């Protein structure tokens, strides 16, 4: 017969297998295997073989087996009996056949090599999957571990199975021999462990990878307040933990972690529904089975919950949820992922032309045909009953649904492209590197949902472990459709910053407007930003505007009025001086030292004019001259008043001729007083200019919207010394004038001097608090006003009464009128 019988090459694997099989199959080892075959699976289990240069096995859940009755261990148990046909499982098997034929027809995939296959039925049972796996490895109907008896073509790999529990059992067995296994549906995360499952790869990602991908939806749609609903098993714990690790650094807060037992527990379901009723988050991230998924939705229908959005890694969840009657009362929308699979070009036509007569070696097709078309094959020993439809074999699968992916790529553990251009490759864990389509359940006004593909997640489109959502949003067919929101606090608009609520998660906050000088140009800013010094914050605090430079200019109304007043006062002082010079020999002018009167009038004119130095844009020159000129000319004026006052006081102290006091009444003495007092102020100003003189400066703080160009005083101590000396001189002058105000003499002008100094001291006493409380260019205006007011006080208090006599009452300005005892 040409049979070659030999043991599998790895003795260590054989030793492990002899130990493992009694546990897997539930039977004794060694010779007992032969006598126990009947209770493992029926003798002559069906399979579909096709020869080739290399054989690829396939394990599919085509016929499901019933569990039967439990063994009483007094006799071998009966074999497992088929109970139903899996329409999906057989179509997957046919897609496997289609893929093999496509590869064999291709001139570039495997040239000069023909693939064969052996399709076997696992029966959706771990026992069946292990039995068929061992049968494929050994080539025997009654497999003996570590012993193969076959002829012909070598075996390349085994494709299967559907459920993870079946694939795990197969992978543990195949891993002992390092025999390749490719699964098309098992997504258990532990299968990525190459230590436990060294020969296992799959054409889909693990549950954890898809769970990681679904978290990117949460981040992409900016849902910051979510609920995680998961099973309390290993997968649920791992998936929720992974979601938390990804979402928390992205600023997403988890309101509640709700765990549901993986086994049926209606009491726990009701408790979960009650908790969800109290939740404020609208988005629910789901890691549940289909069964519990639907149970919770049915529970929510009975409570006042609405507007929720459920997000799952499985679009099948979404499809099942959207079929629940009245579910639109609970759900506003859904989002799910579906593997971005390539299109099986030619496969629908392949199925449409499938006929039992074309593949007589297919031991599954007749049973599948009966279940699909609800007919029966005519057998000689079957009695025909009324109403029974016989199968002809000409029925067509053309209009039958086939919801399953392309399986071409399961046969090649390489990086290649399918006929439609999709790239196929595996990662280091043997998991398929794939993309995910994003499906949204969009609700119409009638409460009907439609699943629409709205985007794509590509795990390879980012660096590191972070996935990137590629925005591929489609225009919705319905104008009302929109992405819902789920936040603990409403978004803070530009111009506001987030203020965390005490004791609440960081996603819960209040919005506080930005203070003056700060801005927030984006939504949900953690803090307001400072505007640059040259800018100020807008009224809405959402951007900064350039600040304009200001100063007290001649052109503006206030500056123009102050300049005009200064010129009028200066002109008035000069006019009074002209009057005094013209009437210099009259008694009124000659009284109280006319030379001092000339000095005083000239200094008052300069006092008025020095106010002009404070107007206009400050420069280095004007800053140097402003305060120093003001201090010196006012010192000359005040010292002149002091000299005039002392002259009156000393005049009434003369009791005998040629006394020392009479010497002090000479004109030179009065001039000396003015010079000495003024010289002291000049020295102070010189020290000020030599050490730390005034300079142009920009005031950024006084006016938020403007930059005030001003003169900085430089040395504050020296400036206060200058002002202090002037204040001391003014206070002394006022005191002397006040004490001499009642001296009886027609030449006595101390009352006018007292009144003028009272005005002067009052103005400068009020100046200090106003000067330091004013801001911006108002500071300059206050000082100019004080200069002009005090100048006007001295000019008006001392000289206006005398000018009235000189110009309006000349009869009083005669020696005869004064000798009659009249006062001036």
Q: What CA–CA distance (Å, rounded) separates 61 from 234?
A: 26
Quick one: pLDDT band at residue 436, thresholds 50, 70, 90? confident
The average pLDDT across 503-514 equals 90
Q: How far apart are CA 481 and CA 66, in angstroms?
A: 47
Q: Are 184 and 209 part of one and the same domain?
A: no
- As a whole number, mean pLDDT of residues 449-459 equals 77
Instruction: Please check whether residue 804 lies inside any domain of the structure.
Output: yes
161 and 88 in a common domain: yes
Residue 509 lies in a domain: yes
Shared domain check, 812 and 694: yes
Dist. CA 496–CA 513, nearest whole Å: 4
- Distance separating the N- and C-terminal Cα atoms of the chain: 159
Mean per-residue pLDDT, 648-664: 60
Backbone angles phi, psi at 131, to 5 degrees: -65, -45
The pLDDT value given to residue 460: 66
- The answer to whether residues 813 and 803 touch, using CB atoms and an 8 Å cutoff, is no
pLDDT above 90: residue 629: yes
Residue 431 DSSP code: B
Residue 615: how many other CB atoms lie within 10 Å: 23
Identify whether 640 is part of a domain.
yes
Who's near 112: CB < 8 A, 6+ residues apart? none
Can you tell me which residue has the tokens 């039958």?
400
Rounded CA-CA distance 728/3 in Å is: 131
pLDDT confidence of residue 404: 35
User: Helices (H) and strands (E) in the chain — how many of each?
Assistant: 23, 29
Query: In this predicted structure, what is the pLDDT of residue 237?
Result: 84
CATH number for the domain harbouring residue 115: 3.40.50.2300
The pLDDT score that the predictor gives to residue 89 is 81
For 449-468, what is the mean pLDDT?
Answer: 65
Task: Give the confidence band of 469 by pLDDT, cuts at 50, 70, 90.
Answer: very low
- Same domain for 631 and 753, yes or no, is yes
Instruction: With cut-offs at 50, 70 and 90, classify the pLDDT of residue 322.
Output: confident
* 3-class DSSP state of 504: coil
Shared-domain flag, residues 364 and 511: no
Q: Confirm if 259 and 290 have CB atoms less than 8 A apart.
A: no
Query: Which of 696, 695, 710 lies closest to 776, judged by CA?
Result: 710
CB atoms within 10 A of CB 666: 12
The more confident residue out of 207 and 23 is: 207
Specify if 718 maps to a domain: yes
Q: How many angstroms separate the Cα of 641 from the Cα of each of 3, 378, 393, 602?
A: 140, 141, 134, 13
* pLDDT at 471 (0 to 100): 46
pLDDT at site 382: 62
Q: Average pLDDT for residues 723-729, to the nearest whole number? A: 91
Residues in the chain, overall count: 824
Distance, in Å, from the CA atom of 382 to the CA atom of 367, rounded to the nearest integer, reads 16
- Residue that has been written with the tokens 């690829």 in this structure: 56
Verify that 575 and 699 share a domain, yes or no.
yes
Cα distance between residue 605 and residue 399, in whole Å: 112
If asked whether residues 307 and 212 sit together in one domain, one would say yes
Is-contact 434 205, C-beta < 8 A? yes
Question: Three-state secondary structure along 539-573?
Answer: CCCCCEEECEEECCCCCCHHHHHHHHHHHHHHHHH
Residue 35's pLDDT band, with cuts at 50, 70 and 90, is very low
Distance CA 561, CA 770 (A): 20
Specify the range with the lowest mean pLDDT, choosing from 8-12, 366-370, 387-391, 401-405: 8-12
Q: Residue 325: CB partners within 8 Å, gap ≥ 6?
A: none
Residue 15 is assigned to a structural domain of this protein: no
Min mean pLDDT across 31-35, 194-198, 566-570, 588-592 is at 31-35
Amino acid 173: pLDDT? 92
Residue 289 resides in a domain:
yes
C-alpha–C-alpha distance, residues 719 and 713, integer Å: 7
Is residue 52 domain-shared with residue 161, that is, in the same domain?
Answer: yes
- In terms of average pLDDT, the best of 30-39, 82-91, 238-247, 448-457 is 238-247
Q: What is residue 20's predicted lDDT score, i.e. its pLDDT?
A: 26
pLDDT in tens, 172-190: 999 988 899 998 888 888 8
Q: Total domain count for the chain?
A: 4
Is the model more confident about 313 or about 283? 283
Closest C-alpha to 93, from 57, 126, 128: 57
Encoding tokens for residue 545? 């505007």
pLDDT at 632 over 90: yes
Does position 412 have pLDDT exceeding 80, yes or no? no
Segment of 329-333, 471-475, 542-546 carrying the highest mean pLDDT: 542-546
**Structural domain range at position 537:** 496-543
pLDDT at 164: 81
Write down the pLDDT at residue 418. 56
Regarding whether 175 and 50 lie in a shared domain, the answer is: yes
Asked whether the bond before 161 is cis by omega within 30 degrees of 0, the reply is: yes
- Rounded Cα distance between 104 and 94, Å, is 15
Segment 182-201 shows an average pLDDT of 87
Beta-strand relationship, 423-424 and 416-417: antiparallel
Amino acid 667: pLDDT: 63
pLDDT class for 21, splitting at 50, 70, 90? very low
pLDDT at 38: 30
Between 31 and 174, name the one with better pLDDT.
Answer: 174
Q: What is the pLDDT of residue 229?
A: 92
Q: Please determine, for residue 514, whether its predicted confidence score (pLDDT) is greater than 90.
A: yes
Q: Within 10 A of 663 (CB to CB), how many other CB atoms are there?
A: 11
Same-domain check for residues 715 and 797 = yes
Confidence label for 336 from pLDDT (cuts 50, 70 and 90): confident
Task: Kindly list the distances between the CA atom of residue 12 and the CA atoms of 15, 18, 133, in Å, as whole numbers in the listed order.
Answer: 5, 10, 19
Q: Worst-scoring range by mean pLDDT, 61-70, 182-191, 286-295, 447-456?
A: 61-70
pLDDT tens digit sequence for 149-161:
666 788 889 998 8
**The tokens of 554 are what?**
């001649």
SS (H, E, C) 713-742: CCCHHHHHHHHHHHHHHHHHHHHHHHHCCC
Residue 207 half-sphere exposure, CB side, CA atoms within 13 Å?
A: 22
Task: Convert the pLDDT of each residue in 760-780 to its tens digit.
Answer: 889 988 888 888 888 888 889
Q: Say if residue 128's pLDDT is above 60.
A: yes
Average pLDDT over residues 7-17: 29
Least confident segment among 38-52, 104-118, 358-372:
38-52
Does any domain span residue 227? yes
Query: Residue 1 domain-assigned?
Result: no
Pick 288 or 724 by higher pLDDT. 724
Instruction: Give the pLDDT mean for 782-804.
Output: 90
* Residues 618 and 746 grouped into a single domain: yes
Q: Are 66 and 48 in contact (CB under 8 A)?
A: no
- Residue that wins the pLDDT comparison between 319 and 48: 48
Q: Are residues 515 and 585 in the same domain?
A: no
- Average pLDDT (453-464) is 67
The pair of structure tokens assigned to 284 is 């629910």
Q: Is the model's pLDDT at 458 over the cut of 60?
A: yes
- What is the 3 state secondary structure string of 588-607? HHHCCCHHHHHHHHHHHHHH
Task: Look at residue 415 and give its three-state secondary structure.
Answer: coil
Residue located via tokens 């030292």: 593
Predicted local distance difference test score (pLDDT) of residue 428? 60
More confident residue, 226 or 28: 226
Looking at the chain, the whole-number percentage of residues with pLDDT higher than 70 is: 78
């Amino acid at each position: 017969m040409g049979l070659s019988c030999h043991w599998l090459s790895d003795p260590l694997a054989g030793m492990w297998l002899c130990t493992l099989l009694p546990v897997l199959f539930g039977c004794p080892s060694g010779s007992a295997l032969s006598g126990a075959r009947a209770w493992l699976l029926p003798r002559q289990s069906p399979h579909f073989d096709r020869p080739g240069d290399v054989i690829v096995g396939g394990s599919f859940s085509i016929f499901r087996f019933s569990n039967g009755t439990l063994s009483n261990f007094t006799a071998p148990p009966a074999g497992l009996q088929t109970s139903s046909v899996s329409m999906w499982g057989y179509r997957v098997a046919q897609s496997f056949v289609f893929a093999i034929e496509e590869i064999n027809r291709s001139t570039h995939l495997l040239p000069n090599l023909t693939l064969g296959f052996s399709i076997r039925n696992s029966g959706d049972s771990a026992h069946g999957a292990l039995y068929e796996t061992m049968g494929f490895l050994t080539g025997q109907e009654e497999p003996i571990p570590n012993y193969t008896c076959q002829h012909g073509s070598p075996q390349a790999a085994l494709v299967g199975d559907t459920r993870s529990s079946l694939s795990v059992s197969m992978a543990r067995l195949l891993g002992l021999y390092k025999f390749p296994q490719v699964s098309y549906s098992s997504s258990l995360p532990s299968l990525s462990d190459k230590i436990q499952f060294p020969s296992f790869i799959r054409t889909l990602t693990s549950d954890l990878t898809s769970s990681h991908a679904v978290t990117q939806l949460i981040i992409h749609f900016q849902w910051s307040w979510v609920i995680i609903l998961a099973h309390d098993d290993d997968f649920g714990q791992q998936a929720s933990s992974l979601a938390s690790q990804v979402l928390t650094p992205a600023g997403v807060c988890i309101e509640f972690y709700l765990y549901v037992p993986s086994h049926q527990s209606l009491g726990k379901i009701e408790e979960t529904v009650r908790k969800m009723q109290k939740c404020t988050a609208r988005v629910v991230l789901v890691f549940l089975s289909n069964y519990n998924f639907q149970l919770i939705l049915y529970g929510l229908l009975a409570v006042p919950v609405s507007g929720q959005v459920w997000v799952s890694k499985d679009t099948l969840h979404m499809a099942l949820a959207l079929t629940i009657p009245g579910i639109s009362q609970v759900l506003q929308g859904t989002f799910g992922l579906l593997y971005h699979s390539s299109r099986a070009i030619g496969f629908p036509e392949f199925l449409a032309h499938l006929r039992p007569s074309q593949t007589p070696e297919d031991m599954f097709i007749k049973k599948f045909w009966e279940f699909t078309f609800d007919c029966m094959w005519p057998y000689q020993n079957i009695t025909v009953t009324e109403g029974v439809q016989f199968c002809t074999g000409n029925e067509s699968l053309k209009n039958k649904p086939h919801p399953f992916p392309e399986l071409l790529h399961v046969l090649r553990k390489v990086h290649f492209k399918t006929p439609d251009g999709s790239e196929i490759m595996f990662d280091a864990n043997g998991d398929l590197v794939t993309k995910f389509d994003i499906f949204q359940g969009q609700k119409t006004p009638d409460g009907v949902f439609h699943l629409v593909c709205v985007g794509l997640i590509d795990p390879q489109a980012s660096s590191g472990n972070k996935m990137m959502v590629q925005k591929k949003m489609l225009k919705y067919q319905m104008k009302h459709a929109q992405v819902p929101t789920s936040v603990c606090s409403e978004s803070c608009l530009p111009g506001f910053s987030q203020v965390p609520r005490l004791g609440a998660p960081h996603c819960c906050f209040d919005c506080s407007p930005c203070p003056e000088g700060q801005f927030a140009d984006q939504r949900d800013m953690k803090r307001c930003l400072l505007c640059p010094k040259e800018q100020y914050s807008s009224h809405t605090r959402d951007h900064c505007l350039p600040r304009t430079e200001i100063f007290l200019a001649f052109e503006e109304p206030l500056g123009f009025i102050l300049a005009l007043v200064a010129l009028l006062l200066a002109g008035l002082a000069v006019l009074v001086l002209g009057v005094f010079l013209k009437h210099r020999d009259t008694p009124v002018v000659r009284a109280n030292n006319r030379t001092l009167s000339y000095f005083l009038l000239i200094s008052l004119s300069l006092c008025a004019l020095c106010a002009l130095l404070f107007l206009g844009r400050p420069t280095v020159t004007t800053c140097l001259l402003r305060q120093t000129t003001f201090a010196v000319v006012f010192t000359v004026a005040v010292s002149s008043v002091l000299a005039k006052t002392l002259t009156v006081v000393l005049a009434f102290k003369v009791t005998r001729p040629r006394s020392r006091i009479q010497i002090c009444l000479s004109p030179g003495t009065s001039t000396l007083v003015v010079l000495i007092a003024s010289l002291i102020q000049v020295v102070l100003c010189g020290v000020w200019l030599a050490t730390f003189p005034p300079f142009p400066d920009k005031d950024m703080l006084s006016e938020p919207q403007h930059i005030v160009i001003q003169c900085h005083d430089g040395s504050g101590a020296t400036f206060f010394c200058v002002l202090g000396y002037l204040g001391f001189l003014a206070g002394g002058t006022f005191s002397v004038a006040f004490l001499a105000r009642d001296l009886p003499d027609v030449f006595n002008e101390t009352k006018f001097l007292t009144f003028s100094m009272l005005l002067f001291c009052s103005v400068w006493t009020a100046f200090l608090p106003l000067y330091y409380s004013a801001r911006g260019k108002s500071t300059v205006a206050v000082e100019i006003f004080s200069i002009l007011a005090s100048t006007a006080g001295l000019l008006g208090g001392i000289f206006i009464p005398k000018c009235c006599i000189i110009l309006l009452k000349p009869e009083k300005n005669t020696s005869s009128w004064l000798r009659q005892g009249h006062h001036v």
